[in-house]
Amino acid sequence: MRKIALMIAAGAVAISMSGCSMIPGLGSQTGVQACAAVSTELSKAMESFQTAISGATNDPDAAIKALAQLGTDLKAARTKVTNADVGAALDKAIAGVEEMSSLIQGSDQAMTSDEFQTAATDVQTAFTDLAKACTKI
What pTM did the predictor assign?
Answer: 0.72
Q: What is the chain's pLDDT, residue by residue, as a tens digit (137 residues)?
A: 555 544 454 455 444 444 443 344 444 789 999 999 988 888 887 787 777 667 666 777 877 888 888 889 999 999 999 999 999 999 998 998 888 888 777 665 555 678 878 877 888 888 888 888 888 87
Q: Where are the domains of the chain?
A: 2-133
Task: Tell me the CATH number of domain 2-133, given options 1.10.150, 3.30.160, 1.10.3470, 1.20.120.
Answer: 1.20.120
The 3-class secondary structure across 54-71, one letter per residue, is: HCCCCCHHHHHHHHHHHH
* Amino acid identity at 89: A
Closest CA to 101 of 60, 131, 130: 60
User: What gap in Å lies between CA 85 and CA 89, rounded to an integer?
Assistant: 6
CB-facing half-sphere around the CA of 67: CA atoms within 13 A: 35
User: What gap in Å lies between CA 23 and CA 31, rounded to an integer?
Assistant: 10
The rounded radius of gyration (Å) of the Cα atoms in the chain is: 15
